[in-house]
Structure 1
Amino acid sequence: MLVHHLWISAVIIVVAGLLWWLQRSYFRHYPHKGSLPFYLLRVLAQLGILLSIVLALAIEWGMPKAGLRLAGHYFLDGFTISGVKINPAHIVAAIIILALLLRLVEFVTQRLDHFLGMFSLDSGARYSLVTLSKYVAIILSLAIGLSLAGVPLGKFALIASALSVGVGFGLQTMVNNFVSGIILIFERPIKVGDWIAVGSTEGYVKRISIRYTLILTFDRTEVFIPNSEIISGQVTNWMYSNNVLRLMLPFTVEHEADLQHVKEVMVKVGQQHPDVMQDDPSIIPPSALILDVNTNGVVVYLRVYISDCNLAFNVQTDLRAGVMEALLSNGVPVARQQQDVRILNSHFEPLRLVADAEA
């Protein structure tokens, strides 16, 4: 009889291990890994497997039917601890419904983004509407889940008072980031896709959440910046109202060079580039400016405006290469760095090589 119980127990454990492996494999390839529904469903599946193991082993080793009925009674009707009634069945149902509601929220917000894309809304306004709708739907889903779990919503007044005390003792930063995130979503000083610089971090805005803003830098690293730093600090946005960008490219020629000819060559190269703005009356056309004269030569700047700042590096490369080729082909002497070495004491004893000394 003991061998039979051990054999059945081993089978139960093997089946439970197989179920555990299956749920891990499923959640490893879950399409929305890291989301709240993902964690809720994973915890529910793992708890279900563990409780099933315990119940199956208890039945196999002779748990009386009265114990099963008592466990079922506690699970369905609940029990009271310190005056608080806990109903496991309601809690499990609330977790399942909450996970389904949150998954529905993700589906609806994705469809809402595609729907708003049919109208003449920029990406920033569309992102703000979708984000606000998502957070409102999540709050409503949490309220529904808590109500189904038997948690009275009137108790949240106590939670709010506790949070107010917590803010005074160390949650100021979290609340500050939360409020700053709401301000960013409403005022939209930055939008998803903007090229911005915050302190030493520069790149494109990839996501704006309630707590932080995700910036993708040019070397493909992702930097999480608290929203409070963006609201209270200085932020440079190259794409706030338009994408126009000015480029100032310095070139140094020798002092004897024909500066008028140099300026004409440089301006011609700027005018020939397809991405340089020329016909816009509000923009200065390509021009060459002499802004510095030093010991190495005369520094002439090529000033151009481009309509898309995302093309800045490519346009700079093309213009630098084009100007250098044009200057060299026109015989313009390009300056090189010069250094004058002055010998103050000329009374040096001549050096003799060892070979000369032996000779």
Structure 2
Amino acid sequence: MSISLVQSGIIILVSVVLLVLIQWAIRRSSATKIGRWLGGLLQVVVVVAAALSLAMVWHLLPQRFLGLAEKYFIDGFTVSGVQVNPLHIVIAAVLLVILFRVIDRLVARLDSFLGIFALDSGARYSLVMLTKYVAIILSVAICLAIAGIPLGKFALIASALSVGVGFGLQTMVNNFVSGIILIFERPIKVGDWIKVGSAEGYVKKISIRYTLIMTFDRTEVFVPNSEIISGQVTNWMYSNSVLRLMLPFTVKHDADLPRVKEILVDVARKHPDVMQDDPSIIPPSALILDVNTNGVMVYLRVYIQDCNKSFNVQTDLRAAVVEALLANGVPLAHQQQDIHMVSSQLEPYPGLQAPSAAA
């Protein structure tokens, strides 16, 4: 009796610990729907295994059933020359869920640790993602070995997948390979301001299948990696974040153009984000690039160090230029439109009488 109580206590304790570990791994990790479903299935398996174990301890099951359970669940059975052990498979599945959670924690710690080194965010992200994928592959290989599934048997599966790639999986494999290329070659990095097709914004995430772009209106766009590798991508921050700004202003034809250019350059030089002392960068300048019926188009050309400040710098410069021009008596030109009135003898429409003079 006392031995049965001790065995029951051990079974209950082990089951509770396993359930808590599985639930902890699911809640604390960024598990997908498949991961949550697998975790729930493992919890059911643990509960059923605990119930059967308790029934075996207290001899509540027939001896024949116990023999079958020991033969097939513990000792395993052979299928097509492969030894299948359900107990080892359950242990491997539970271990895989726990390892995935541990990998998430270690990856987060690694990201924080690499932050103390002189690495840009893109290089740090690439190193962290490579470490994560290698750890996942090793974890899966270890769990497969524990489950007793030989890796050599996957050659047949790979052959079957090669047929599927030619039909329906070609796009998926293409995105996967493109994701590997993006991580190694790094044409774009997390935090870069890029434009792919109609999507423009900051790179928030580079996964194996897609790249997540956060647009300026806070919309998240998922771009397949194959489109980035095979298409045209504009990256404003690939080698540096320097950006040229061309701000147009229209003044009247009779305006003092040398004075206008001087005002624009003076305003630009007073802005703290405008580059002036870099010998490789053209200093602020004013250019006359167009003359039309509305007036003279004068462009203010400046370079800024950080393209992320582009919109704020443009706003500041436009407001300061308009204020400076008005303060110096240089009004901006307005769009003009000439209307010519042509007088002619109009004949009344047939069936209508012209209004009489008395009316």
Class of the TM-score when normalised by the shorter of the 2 chains: 0.7 to 0.9
Asked if 2 retains the 8 angstrom alpha-carbon contact of 1:263 and 1:288, the reply is yes
Distance 1:53 1:347 in 2: 107
TM-score by length of 2: 0.83
The runs of 5 or more residues in structure 2 that have no matched partner are 1-15, 349-356
1:358 is displaced (CA, Å) by: 11
Distance 1:91 1:292 in 2: 75
Residues 328, 29 of structure 1: CA spacing in aligned structure 2 closer, same or farther, 3 A cutoff? Answer: farther
Distance 2:250 2:49 in 1: 78
Distance 2:315 2:48 in 1: 63
1:102 is displaced (CA, Å) by: 1.9
Q: State the partner residue of 2:187.
A: 189
Distance 1:344 1:75 in 2: 102
Matches within 5 A, 1:9-24: none
Distance 2:45 2:93 in 1: 12
Residues 43, 342 of structure 1: CA spacing in aligned structure 2 closer, same or farther, 3 A cutoff? Answer: farther
Q: Note the aligned Cα RMSD (angstroms).
A: 3.2
Q: How many percent identity over aligned positions?
A: 69
Distance 2:40 2:281 in 1: 58
Question: What do residues 123-156 of structure 1 show as CA deviations (whole Å, max 9, x unaligned)?
Answer: 2222212111111111111111111112111112
**2:125 alignment partner, SS class:** helix
Q: State the partner residue of 1:105.
A: 103
Instruction: Identify which of 283, 292, 295 aligns with 1:294.
Output: 292
Asked if 1 retains the 8 angstrom alpha-carbon contact of 2:25 and 2:98, the reply is no
Q: State the partner residue of 1:282.
A: 280
Distance 2:26 2:170 in 1: 37
The runs of 5 or more residues in structure 1 that have no matched partner are 1-18, 351-356
Distance 1:358 1:313 in 2: 65
Matched letter for residue 232 of structure 1: S
Q: State the partner residue of 1:238.
A: 236
State which drifts further: 304-313 or 102-111.
102-111
Alignment length (residue pairs): 331
**1:138 alignment partner, SS class:** helix
Distance 1:28 1:99 in 2: 7
Q: State the partner residue of 1:166.
A: 164
**2:217 alignment partner, SS class:** coil
Distance 1:78 1:166 in 2: 32
Residues 276, 140 of structure 1: CA spacing in aligned structure 2 closer, same or farther, 3 A cutoff? Answer: same
Q: State the partner residue of 1:136.
A: 134
Matched letter for residue 76 of structure 2: G
Distance 2:158 2:182 in 1: 24
Asked if 2 retains the 8 angstrom alpha-carbon contact of 1:37 and 1:103, the reply is no
Distance 1:306 1:50 in 2: 66
**2:213 alignment partner, SS class:** strand
Q: State the partner residue of 2:86.
A: 88
1:277 is displaced (CA, Å) by: 0.7
Q: State the partner residue of 2:6.
A: none
State which drifts further: 151-160 or 109-118.
109-118
Q: State the partner residue of 1:324.
A: 322
1:40 is displaced (CA, Å) by: 3.7
**1:216 alignment partner, SS class:** strand
Residues 135, 28 of structure 1: CA spacing in aligned structure 2 closer, same or farther, 3 A cutoff? Answer: closer
Distance 1:332 1:222 in 2: 44
Instruction: Identify which of 63, 75, 78 aligns with 2:76.
Output: 78
State which drifts further: 92-101 or 64-73.
64-73
Asked if 1 retains the 8 angstrom alpha-carbon contact of 2:242 and 2:303, the reply is yes
Matched letter for residue 323 of structure 1: V
1:345 is displaced (CA, Å) by: 4.8
Matched letter for residue 114 of structure 1: S
**2:28 alignment partner, SS class:** coil
Matches within 5 A, 1:221-232: 221-232=219-230
**1:261 alignment partner, SS class:** helix
Q: State the partner residue of 1:32.
A: 29
Q: State the partner residue of 1:260.
A: 258
